[in-house]
Structures are given as structure tokens and as C-alpha cells.
């Protein structure tokens, strides 16, 4: 058992609702607080001096400077296992080509597929771990990672095995997702439906067998998979026991409805979601995941986060870090910018990258600093937690703790 502190503020995020809007005055803030961790779990939080008198013999880890502590963050949507880069797409987009035009001409996702297929396992593992370490440095200790740049049995399994192996080299929690339905690869002989059946028949059984992922994702979009074929694919994947998540409404409206109808855990993107679908989603159990990094990467509008929250939805915010639409990878900067455009309270931003995004991954053991939760937290050298988002990511995390240990 160990007492860590004192912290000028501990923002616990305890006792907040899973869904709907939040105001900053709902935040529980412990002044001059301490955190007691035991075997990686929070035993108690409270006033530092009170905790010391309650547990007089406790080992202490003293924080010498003025710092605030927040629950560590969860990034529930990334594509950080990839080869090569797409700086050329960036140049083409800025010269007037659209994301979908670039995809149709063989750039875009397909170009990352070729680089990823050509990369060795060691190379992929190394670059994936570098990106994981960057995310940890921001205070993110739970990271979802998708396949989707392999797009055949061999290479999708290669990606998922690399992601599984990466878990041996990091204390962050990695959550793998099978995104073989990212795009029908150009070298697949057959139509979309045949490719989706190939995933169901050839890829997913092996993913299960090797325990490589228990989540399945699909990109429903004009250039990728169409609504009806996607729906039947998702229902079959669900029958096989996979949790469902969807790349929905990025450019074209309609697929967030499918996500809700199939009982997806989350519908991610939603930049193009129309008002009645926003309410349909907000009334559902499906988490709406805003990906401001993709809006910034492509110069597209932001996910209607304000409307989703006002409608009573569950809103999470994730980085979508990938080589094409969202190369930045800085979730703190992205969430801060989303807040300014969508008028989100700091409480809504914080909830969106902590317990609400952890819920999107079915991890209800983390995301708040209260008794019984995983002792993952991040500290910043400041006397006021608001500065973290006010400074749009330029205030760097001071320390990151996983299971009560500073890493
Ligand atoms: O979430 N939209 C589809 N998939 C990714 C982009 C992947 C890529 O461009 O490489 C996304 O934005
Ligand atoms: Fe994505």
C-alpha cells in the first residue's frame, strides 16, 4: 500500500453520469489530495493529511512540486500499427483532391496496405511501440489498435499478432480490433460481398482461435462497404461472438443507424450525421466517438459532439491516429480544439477521454479516481486542471502512473 501526493487538485471524475451533458461544477475536485494505491488498485482518495493520519505507517511517495492529478486517458480508436506514411496524400488533398478521390486512384488506405504488407514484423512492432510510447507520454494508458492495413488472411493476422506481441513490451493496456473490412483490397478477386464472406470464413475464425481480438470494425462509406452488405456482415460477426464497432457517417450519412441497429458498442466519426440520426444514436446504448484528429487532418467539419451530448448520448473522444486522415496522434490537442469548436465543457472533454471512452472498450474498471478502480493516473505541473485543455496540449504531462507505479 502506498500514498502518493500531495496534489494541489485531484479531479476524480467520480459520480458522473455515463451519458449526456456535464458542467464543470459537477466535477469532484479534492484539494491537497492523496491517492492510496494497493496492488495496482485505488484503495482510497482524499485529503492528503487526513489520509496520512488515517494510515500513519503508510509508505509515501511525495510529490514535491505543485501538480494536479487526473485519471489516465483512454484512446478508444487508433490505427497505429502501419508501415510507411502518407505525406503525399496530404499534398494531394491540399492541391484540391478529396480523400475519396485519392482512395479511388489507388492512394489512401491502399497505399498504407502495401507499405504494411511489405514491413517486417520487427519493423511494425518497433514503430507501433514508438507510437504507444508517445501516447503514454500524453497520459494515455489504454489504447485501442485496429488491424485493417493487411486485408488478407496472412497480413491481417500479421498485424494482429504484432499488436498482441506489443502487449508484452508495454504496461499500457492494448485493445486490439479486427478491421479487415476497412476496404476491399485491389488484389481480391470478387465483389464486396465475397470479400466480407472471406473475412467471416477465413479471417475471423483464426482471430478467434488465436485470441487476437474480440472486436470487429467496418468502414461503411461510398468508397468502402455499402450499408446493406455491412449490416449482414456485422450481424454474422456478432453471432460469432465479436463486439461490434463501426466507422460511421464519415462523409456520407446513414451508417450510424446501422451501428445502432446491430447493437454496436460504438459508432465512430459521425462528421456527416444528420440531425434525426444524431437523436437516434443519442437515445441508444451505442457510444458516439468523435475523432477530431480526422477532421483536422482532412479539413472536414467536426463531429456534432454538442448535439450528441445535449441529446443525452454517450460521447467519447479518440485520436483515430492513422497515416492518412489523422497523422497527428495528439489526443489532448485534438480534444481541446474540439471543445472550442463544439463548445464542450472541460468536464465533457475529460469524461470523453476517460470513463466514457473506457466504457466504449467495455473497460469499466478505469477512468475515475475512486476506490476499486485501476490506479492509472496522469499528473501535470500546474495548480489548475483547466490549464491542461486551455493550453491545447502544450502543457505536457509530468508523470504517468500505471497500476500505481510511475513509469
Ligand atoms: O478512421 N475512414 C477510414 N479509416 C481511417 C483512415 C484510414 C486511412 O486513411 O488510412 C479513419 O479515418
Ligand atoms: Fe479510424
Rounded Cα gap, residues 35 and 404, in angstroms: 9
- CATH topology agreement for domains 2-71+367-406 and 73-360: no
**Minimal-distance CA residue to ligand 1 atom 9:** 324
**What residues sit around ligand 2, an ion, with C-beta below 5 angstroms?**
320
Residue 186 neighbours by CB under 8 Å, 6+ apart: 106, 110
CA of 345 to the centre of ligand 1 (A): 28
CA of 187 to the centre of ligand 1 (A): 19
CATH dotted code for 73-360 = 3.20.20.140
Q: What is the pLDDT of residues 109-118, one digit of tens each?
A: 999 999 999 9
CATH superfamily of this structure's domain 2-71+367-406: Urease, subunit C, domain 1 (2.30.40.10)
Q: What does pLDDT average to over the chain?
A: 97
Sign of the dihedral defined by the CA atoms of residues 304, 310, 314, 318, in that order: positive
Rounded Cα gap, residues 179 and 346, in angstroms: 32
Ligand nearest to the CA of 144: 2
Residue 109 neighbours by CB under 8 Å, 6+ apart: 103, 148, 149, 182, 183, 324
As a dihedral over the C-alpha atoms of residue 125, residue 131, residue 134, residue 140, rounded to 10 degrees, the angle is: -100
Residue 106: per-residue pLDDT: 78
Q: Of 248, 257, 321, 336, which Cα lies nearest the Cα of 289? A: 248
**Minimal-distance CA residue to ligand 1 atom 6:** 325
Average pLDDT over residues 6-16: 98
Rounded Cα gap, residues 380 and 388, in angstroms: 8
Number of the ligand 1 atom closest to the C-alpha atom of 221: 2
Average pLDDT over residues 25-41: 98
CA of 182 to the centre of ligand 2 (A): 9
**Residue 354: band (very low, low, confident or very high) from pLDDT cuts 50, 70, 90:** very high
Residue 33: per-residue pLDDT: 98
Q: Read off the pTM.
A: 0.97
Q: What is the pLDDT of residues 279-335, one digit of tens each?
A: 999 999 999 999 999 999 999 999 999 999 999 999 999 999 999 999 999 999 999
Mutate to test the pocket of ligand 1, among 219, 246, 269, 334 (most ligand atoms within 8 A of CB): 219
Q: Where are the domains of the chain?
A: 2-71+367-406, 73-360
Q: What SS3 class is residue 325?
A: coil
Can you name the residues that pair with 225 across neighbouring β-strands?
220
Q: What is the pLDDT of residues 219-258, one digit of tens each?
A: 999 989 999 999 999 999 999 999 999 999 999 999 999 9
Can you give the C-alpha Rg of the chain in angstroms? 21
Residue 100: per-residue pLDDT: 83
Number of the ligand 1 atom closest to the C-alpha atom of 224: 3
Amino acid at each position: 500500500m502506498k500514498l502518493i501526493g500531495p496534489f494541489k487538485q485531484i479531479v476524480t471524475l467520480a459520480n458522473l453520469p455515463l451519458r449526456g451533458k456535464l458542467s464543470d461544477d459537477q466535477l469532484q475536485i479534492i484539494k491537497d489530495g492523496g491517492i492510496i494505491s494497493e496492488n495496482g488498485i485505488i484503495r482510497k482518495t482524499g485529503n492528503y493529511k487526513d489520509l496520512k493520519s488515517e494510515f500513519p505507517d503508510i509508505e509515501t511517495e511525495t510529490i514535491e512540486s505543485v501538480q494536479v492529478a487526473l485519471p489516465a486517458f483512454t484512446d478508444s480508436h487508433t490505427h497505429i500499427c502501419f508501415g510507411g506514411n502518407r505525406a503525399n496524400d496530404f499534398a494531394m488533398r491540399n492541391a484540391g483532391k478529396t480523400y475519396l478521390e485519392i482512395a479511388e486512384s489507388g492512394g489512401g488506405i491502399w497505399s498504407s496496405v502495401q507499405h504494411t504488407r511489405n514491413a517486417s514484423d520487427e519493423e511494425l512492432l518497433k514503430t507501433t511501440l514508438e507510437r504507444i510510447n508517445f501516447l503514454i507520454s500524453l497520459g494515455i494508458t489504454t489504447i485501442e489498435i485496429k488491424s485493417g492495413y493487411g486485408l488478407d488472411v496472412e497480413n491481417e493476422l500479421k498485424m494482429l499478432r504484432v499488436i498482441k506481441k506489443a502487449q508484452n513490451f508495454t504496461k499500457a493496456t492494448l485493445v486490439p480490433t479486427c478491421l479487415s473490412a476497412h476496404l476491399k483490397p485491389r488484389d481480391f478477386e470478387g465483389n464486396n460481398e465475397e470479400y466480407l464472406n472471406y473475412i467471416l470464413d477465413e479471417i475471423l475464425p483464426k482471430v478467434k482461435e488465436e485470441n487476437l481480438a474480440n472486436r470487429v470494425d467496418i468502414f461503411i462509406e461510398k468508397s468502402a462497404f455499402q450499408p446493406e452488405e455491412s449490416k449482414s456482415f456485422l450481424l454474422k460477426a456478432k453471432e460469432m461472438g465479436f463486439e461490434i464497432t463501426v466507422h460511421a457517417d464519415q462523409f456520407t450519412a446513414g451508417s450510424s443507424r446501422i451501428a445502432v441497429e446491430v447493437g454496436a458498442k460504438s459508432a465512430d466519426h459521425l462528421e456527416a450525421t444528420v440531425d434525426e440520426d444524431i437523436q437516434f444514436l443519442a437515445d441508444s446504448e451505442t457510444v458516439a466517438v468523435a475523432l477530431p484528429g480526422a477532421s483536422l487532418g482532412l479539413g472536414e467539419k467536426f463531429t456534432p459532439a454538442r448535439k450528441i451530448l445535449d441529446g443525452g448520448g454517450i460521447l467519447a473522444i479518440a485520436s483515430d491516429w492513422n497515416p492518412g486522415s489523422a497523422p497527428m496522434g495528439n489526443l489532448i490537442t485534438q480534444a481541446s480544439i474540439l471543445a472550442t469548436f463544439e463548445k464542450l465543457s472541460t468536464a465533457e472533454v475529460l469524461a470523453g477521454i476517460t470513463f466514457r471512452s473506457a466504457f466504449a472498450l467495455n473497460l469499466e474498471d478505469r477512468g475515475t479516481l475512486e476506490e476499486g478502480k485501476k490506479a492509472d493516473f496522469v499528473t501535470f505541473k500546474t495548480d489548475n486542471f483547466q490549464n491542461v485543455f486551455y493550453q491545447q496540449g502544450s502543457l505536457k504531462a509530468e508523470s504517468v502512473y500505471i497500476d500505481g507505479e510511475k513509469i
